[in-house]
Structure 1
Amino acid sequence: MRRHIAAVSATALLSLACATGAAEAKPSSLYAPSAMVLTIAKGAGDAATVVRASTLSCAPTAQGTHPNPEAACAALAATAGTFDTLLASPDTGRACPMHYDPVTVTADGVWQGSRVSWKHTFSNTCTMSVTFNGNPVFAF
């Protein structure tokens, strides 16, 4: 009798867990998630120390701790979330010093439902500024 009660209890718990899990699996929005943590770090590789960080969520509305989430989300949408595209049009009319003081930027999270883990190291802050050329994504 005890085995029967234990089996019925286990089946009931399993059924409840499956029902609860199915309810949690339903999407809560029509939009694919787009939420990231952006960082700017002093240094390169594992030795880099984060000096600034910002959160950015773009769907269904632009929000987060980023100072201009609307502009940053628009800039990412223009590149289809491809962060390497942000590096494509540096300001060639501006010169930077040739000293090495590396700065690393990262983006980790989700863009339109796809996992993002991106990192790029610049030789110094001037080079980073010239490369992003007014792009608002890492302007925080």
Structure 2
Amino acid sequence: MAEYRKTYRTFSAGETTALGRHIAQVLKPGDVLALYGDLAAGKTTLTRGLAEGFQANQPATSPTFTLINEYPGTLTLYHFDCYRIKDAREILYLGFEEYLDMGGIVVVEWPQKIETYLPEDTIRIRLNRSESRDDVREITLELPEERHVNFGC
């Protein structure tokens, strides 16, 4: 259960990306982020901001068909997309447990598919689209400890 919770509102894809850059500033090597949200909720857009925050060597894209993308930067970002996983054990065949020990940042889209393999101290981020405006997102961070993300939304 999260000990610290903070909700942000973004009003464009650019703001969601910017929030990702700000979140990157408070992450530590070995952190795992679980991104929850429906299709088009902004999970990959937020991840793009995380990659930018770590000065990755390329922009983050959805790894839906490859299941994992790696973005080397000041910290390496390991981006998993579990949308196509049918059985949670499939994540083990991808070496998920080894990635947890690599000292980078692990980001998991569709984490509900592999919930049993997520570490207890996983940072959970819930992205919800506004029902009234397609470009508005409510993004809630649930962290095991208080970390201040300086973002003005």
Q: Which has the higher contact order (CA 8 A, sep 6+)?
A: 2
Structure with the higher fraction of residues in helix conformation? 1
Q: Which is greater in Rg?
A: 1
Q: TM (normalized to structure 1)?
A: 0.25
